[in-house]
Amino acid sequence: MAFFCEKDLVVLCRQCCSTNHQHHRVWPIEKAACLHRKQLAYSMELYKDRMERVKKVLALQVSRPLELKRKVERRRKDIHFEFEHLRLFLENRQEALLKQLQEEEIVNLAKLKESLAKTSEHASSVRSLLKEVERKYGQSEMELLTDLKHVYDSYRCLKSPGNFSFTFEDFGNWLPPQYSGLNPIVKCFQADVILDPETAHCRLSISEDRKTVRYGLRQKLPPLASRFFLCPAVLGSRAYNSGRQYWEVDVKDKSDWIVGVCKESLPRRKKNQKQQLLKQDGIWAVGRCSGCIESNYIALGPKRISLLPKVTPSKIGVFLDIEMGEVSFYNLDDRSLLHTYNNDHFNEALLPYFYIGTDSKPLKICTVTDSE
């Protein structure tokens, strides 16, 4: 009659029970096989679940080269934008950055391939173990318990490979502020933007020079079709349908603000409070919204994007290029690019747009001398 040692996970004869295993827990074959068959059934479910998770990871890893390519292409466009206005005297630097990016692409692709190989190997190991467990499960009692320890040890030693993430050098701060492409934009395309009182919400007060606006007491104003009815916003007085324009807005200390451009046809009188404003079509802007979950700073356009500026912006630069279909926003506190909307086709004139929020702190359009 044969027995099974629960401590050493081996099949024993009667003589072995009374010698090397006399202090161990020893069970009859039938009882041990019944117990371990249940445990193997449970293990099969674990392996199947793990196999499904590995398949998902493997499918993700297979798609990562395309993701890497898209990320590299996106960063390449960012680099080209940074150097567009400095190409004549910074060509060598641009070529160096593009070469660095290409090298990083090669390095990341090599690491990605290595990660993919490890994940594939892990999937193969899990698949083999699953087959071994399924084979064991279908064996006779004696065969099932023979070499069972190897199956359990293999599962305990199985380690999942970690997920690979891309890393890139931060090229945004490689140039000192005096070489920023923002300088020629300011000098060449500065626009004298003033506010249009006939578009201002009834609780907005506009200064005499029409450069400053703040939220305050309700005023008795004519109910014009051009006036914002529920949303505390105001527009610039001049619409742009060609050329390039640049202006700056001081948003210091305000908890809620949105600045940018909008279509002339933007609805003014429907219930477009802030939450509806965030979904509004016909606006290209950046702003700070204290009620947003993912980030206080957002970009509003064809889709809503969260922004994570390295330095808290107190002054925003807006650059509108009608012919190129671009609107760019700069954080003037560190002269960094916050966001660019490009390849947009503006099918009507655009107006400077200012959402003030409901705090009493002013929002101010800066003059040329303020920017120098």
CATH number of the domain where residue 241 is located: 2.60.120.920
125-147 burial, b for 16+ CB within 10 Å, e for fewer? ebeebbebbeebeeeebeebbbe
- How sure is the predictor about 291, in pLDDT bands with cuts at 50, 70 and 90? low
- Position 112 scores a pLDDT of 85
Is 202 in the same domain as 350?
Answer: yes
Residue 28 CA to chain centroid, in angstroms? 60
- Position 314 scores a pLDDT of 94
Question: How many other C-beta atoms can be found within 10 angstroms of the C-beta atom of residue 153?
Answer: 11
103 is a domain residue:
yes
- The last residue of one of the domains, among 87, 122, 157, is 157
- Position 11 scores a pLDDT of 83
- Give CB contacts under 8 A, 24+ apart, made by 75-79: 75/101, 75/168, 75/171, 76/101, 78/171, 78/337, 79/171
Is 138 in the same domain as 271?
Answer: no
Q: Which two tokens stand for residue 273?
A: 């409070």
DSSP secondary structure of 116-178: HHHHHHHHHHHHHHHHHHHHHHTS-HHHHHTTHHHHHHHHHH--PPPPP-------TTSS-GG
Burial classification of residue 159, based on how many CB atoms lie within 10 Å of its CB (0-12 exposed, 13-18 middle, 19 or more buried): exposed
Compute the average pLDDT of residues 87-98.
Answer: 66
Is 148 in the same domain as 227?
Answer: no
Is 200 in the same domain as 310?
Answer: yes
Range of the domain at 46: 3-157
Is 106 in the same domain as 143?
Answer: yes
- pLDDT of 315 > 90? The answer is yes
Percentage of the chain beyond pLDDT 90 is 25
167 is a domain residue:
no
Q: Identify residue 335 by its one-letter amino acid code.
A: R
- Position 197 scores a pLDDT of 94
- Position 257 scores a pLDDT of 95
365 is a domain residue:
yes
- pLDDT of 106 > 80? The answer is yes
Q: Which two tokens stand for residue 242?
A: 């060609």
Is 206 in the same domain as 251?
Answer: yes
162 is a domain residue:
no
Question: How many other C-beta atoms can be found within 10 angstroms of the C-beta atom of residue 327?
Answer: 24
- Position 256 scores a pLDDT of 92
Q: Which two tokens stand for residue 120?
A: 């594939």
Question: How many structural domains does the chain have?
Answer: 2
Is 273 in the same domain as 331?
Answer: yes
Is 330 in the same domain as 200?
Answer: yes
Distances (CA, A) of 101 to 96, 167, 259, 359: 9, 11, 33, 44
C-alpha–C-alpha distance, residues 192 and 245, integer Å:
9
- pLDDT of 93 > 80? The answer is no
93 is a domain residue:
yes
Is 7 in the same domain as 87?
Answer: yes
Is 101 in the same domain as 233?
Answer: no
DSSP secondary structure of 18-60: TTTTTTS-EEEHHHHHHHHHHHHHHHHHHHHHHHHHHHHHHHH
170 is a domain residue:
no
Supply the pTM of this predicted model: 0.53
Q: Where are the beta strands (DSSP E) in the chain?
A: 3-5, 10-12, 26-28, 204-206, 212-215, 233-235, 244-250, 257-263, 283-288, 297-300, 305-307, 315-321, 326-331, 336-341, 350-355, 363-365
Question: How many other C-beta atoms can be found within 10 angstroms of the C-beta atom of residue 195?
Answer: 23
164 is a domain residue:
no
Is 148 in the same domain as 187?
Answer: no
Higher model confidence: residue 279 or residue 130?
130
166 is a domain residue:
no
Compute the average pLDDT of residues 306-328.
Answer: 90
